[in-house]
Amino acid sequence: MALTEMPRVFQTTSEKRLNHSILPMRLYHKAKKLGTWDPRDIDFTKDKEDWQGMNEAERRVILRLCSLFVAGEEAVTLDLLPLIMAVAREGRLEEEMYLTTFLFEEAKHTEVFRRFLDEVAGETSDLSVFHKDHYRKIFYEYLPQAMGRLVHDPSPEAQAEASVTYNMVVEGVLAETGYYAFYTALQKENKLPGLIQAIRLLQRDESRHIGYGTYLLSRLISENAHIWDVVNRRINLLLPHAIGVVQDLNAELDTEEAQKLAEELGITDVPFGLNPDEFVAYAQKQFATRLGVLQRARGKSVDEIYYYTEETVGVEQ
């Protein structure tokens, strides 16, 4: 039966009503309160001063990080809609209500990074030169393919592959490692405070996104035991590329390359004094953390998953 031919039943006028106790609805209520910040309210006055005082190597590191983030945020904004459609077609109103806030927030994340590049860095060049092979594999291929598949195949297997790619890898590993890199580079010397404020707001939003993805995958694993194997296969496919993205970033900070750049620019230190090894270790830790939560979903009932706490799925309170 085609979607348009299905008899319509309104949950809000039925005995079922809305369940405000389940995790997706609690995330919806949090998003209404915490996700309404405006990218145009971020004050970049000091950031502009700091940018002028940075050396070329430092600017290059920030530009590279921003290029990965702004394109990544654009990608997840473009690619989220099929998941919303799949959830809506299953009649999961509370989850769909939360996902409407999810899409709104991704759009704002795209806006704030582009605003920084326009107003602070004054950057008009093609920053996709920073998108290396591993990044392209995830954001140019695997992410749009997995999300686009949901339009014609909303099966549990397809949803699991999409959520692993989007929530677990792109948000739960790459974005979180990127936040860590920004904080490590900038907070100690209080540089680019407007950008750091934006990162904090993004991270708070993304904790809800990752929390929902963890919930969704846990529910799918609970409902279909074989989904655990689907999740593991997808992780094994994506892990080398995710670590590769971090290692590509580290190439900007690698001692040998840093010394070469130092000779060209008259700079003696690795930009911001960063230690490249920290970021690979951090990314691997994020993977282990996310996988541990999903592993604990095996054998749980669907009702237990519905009532997961925010703490269980890593949502900031």
Rounded distance, CA 166 to CA 142, Å?
9
Helices (H), the chain: 23-34, 45-53, 56-79, 81-89, 93-119, 133-136, 143-149, 156-163, 176-186, 193-223, 227-250, 255-265, 276-296, 302-306
Per the prediction, the chain carries an average pLDDT of 90
Domain-wise residue ranges, the chain: 44-306
Give the CA count within 13 Å in the CB-facing half-sphere of 233. 10
Superfamily of chain region 44-306 = Ribonucleotide Reductase, subunit A (1.10.620.20)
How far does Cα 310 stand from its chain's mean position? 17
pLDDT tens readout for residues 258-304: 455 445 444 344 455 556 678 788 888 888 888 888 999 998 999 99
pLDDT(124) > 80: yes
pLDDT tens readout for residues 49-90: 999 999 998 899 899 999 999 999 999 999 999 999 999 999
CB atoms within 10 A of CB 110: 21
One-letter amino acid for residue 147 of the chain? M
* Contact present, 24 and 307 (Cβ < 8 Å): no
Q: Determine the pLDDT at residue 202.
A: 97
- As given in the structure block, the two tokens for residue 119 are 């107003």
* Contact present, 70 and 130 (Cβ < 8 Å): no
* Contact present, 27 and 210 (Cβ < 8 Å): no
Q: Determine the pLDDT at residue 1.
A: 46
- Please, what's the b/e burial string for 206-240 (b: 16 or more CB within 10 A of its CB; e: otherwise)? bbbbbbbbbbbbbbbbbeeeebbebbeebbeebee
Q: Determine the pLDDT at residue 266.
A: 44
Q: Determine the pLDDT at residue 263.
A: 52
Rounded distance, CA 72 to CA 179, Å?
13
pLDDT(218) > 80: yes
Q: Determine the pLDDT at residue 252.
A: 60
pTM here is 0.90
